[in-house]
A and B are shown apart, each in its own frame.
Chain A
């Protein structure tokens, strides 16, 4: 079965760091572009970051640029999001999603991992 499972969320104080993981099964992450999308409580979807299949193209939302780093480990078939200098506004459910190469659509989503930034 093709699926994505996120982990690593939790309660963290402002200014702290967290590393989110996304484990893929049923497909190889190195064949696909992968993304992180977040959703603040009661709010809409916000694209956070994406990485191309060969890691040659990486981009970030302005709101996280310079603080978050996306990476992948093809051997572990996993995607990561290193989050530093966390702020209250980063509180959200973080989803990872797979992008279909030809259609540029996010076709597979995980169930998300919750990050709460609070003192």
Chain B
């Protein structure tokens, strides 16, 4: 099983300032087909998860361009260029390169 480790677990951020969340996998997420199946999801309070980023760096439909994903191999980053109030919630990385799919522990983004 691939273990996903996120840091930090909590991130207090000032509105309008950037935020960054890291995710590390216990083994490479590079699939034999050449893709890296790492996604990022946002879960606002009381809501189901919502897909933000897929295949490491592709924004899902309707996701604001202040969200971006990057990385390679075993190290990945989600960046929010300027945090807005609606960004409060918990962010998860998830790997789908091999079964069982696994999630990071989640990073709680809150406003200072």
A: residues with CB less than 8 A from B are: 35, 37, 44-47, 50, 59-62, 95, 97, 99-100, 103-107, 109-112
Summarize A's interface: helix, strand, loop or mixed: strand
A71 to chain B, nearest CB (A): 17
- The answer to whether A112 touches B48, judged by C-beta atoms less than 8 angstroms apart, is yes
Contact status B48-A106, CB under 8 Å: no
Q: Is the CB of A45 within 8 A of B92?
A: yes
Q: CB-defined interface of B23-37 with A at 8 Å, one 1/0 digit per residue?
A: 000000000000101
**Among A47, A59, A95, which residue has its beta carbon within 8 angstroms of that of B48?**
A95
* B51 contacts the other chain (CB 8 A): yes
Given A100-B54, A103-B54, A111-B48: A45 and B39 interface contact (C-beta under 8 Å): no
What is the total number of residues of chain B having a CB less than 8 Å from a CB of chain A?
27
How far in angstroms is the closest Cβ of chain B from A88?
Answer: 21
Separation in Å of the B82 CB from the closest CB of chain A?
25
Smallest Cβ distance from A70 to chain B, in angstroms?
12
- Residues of A near B51 (CB, < 8 A) are 105-107
CA distance in complex: A45, B102 (Å): 9
